Amino acid sequence: MNKERKKAKSKLSVLVLLFFSSIISAQSVIIEIKSDSLYINSKKVTKEITLQNLRSLLGNPNREFYKSSTIWTYDSLGLKIYIGKQDSLLETISLDFKKDDFEVSPRKQFNGKLIINSQAVSAKTSIKELEKMEIGLESSNLDWRNASTEYLRLLFDYSKDKKKLEVVEISFK
């Protein structure tokens, strides 16, 4: 009886470990911007991606809002997805490097990886570092900067002192 109990405990431990490791891996995302397109977890994404395929890449959102666009908020990933109300096309992905208190804001800050032209971008990425990434960054005296590729528009929103990157918005043209 004691051997059977140990086997059962061992099997249960393995199942619990597998369950939690799948949850942890599901809560990580890699968003990469290359010259030709946007990739989420190595899968090419266009604005025509089906909502079902988008859900398969990111999982189900924690919350959904129906404003001028449909907004999917992923609290554990620290991001929001904006979907056109009329056409159901992917409009914008917003990565929140700073936690905000707006109704639609994720409850956690972005914890994945953002890679632009093979270079990592984080809350600590300076404006000077962005300028070196060859993404056509437009200069401005404001807290934000714009850039674009052939298919995407990028907005980098900095803190008032311009030292911390707070939000990155990736929109399709």
Q: Report whether pLDDT(157) > 90.
A: yes
pLDDT of residue 113: 97
Structure tokens belonging to residue 135: 């993404």
Structural domains of the chain, count: 1
Q: What is the pTM of this model?
A: 0.82
Mean pLDDT of the chain: 86
Angle in degrees, CA 149, 68, 167, rounded to 5:
45
For the cut 80, the answer to whether the pLDDT of residue 138 exceeds it is: yes
- Say if residue 135's pLDDT is above 90: no
Region 109-118: what's the mean pLDDT?
A: 95
* pLDDT value, residue 59: 95
With respect to residue 12, please indicate whether it lies within any of the assigned structural domains: no
What's the pLDDT at 172? 93
In terms of residue numbers, what domain contains 167? 30-172
Least confident of 1-5, 67-71, 75-79: 1-5
Q: Residue 15 domain-assigned?
A: no
Task: Report yes or no: 78 and 71 within 8 Å, Cβ to Cβ.
Answer: no
Contact yes or no for 148/163 (Cβ under 8 A) = no
- For residue 34, is it within any domain? yes
In a domain, 140, yes or no: yes
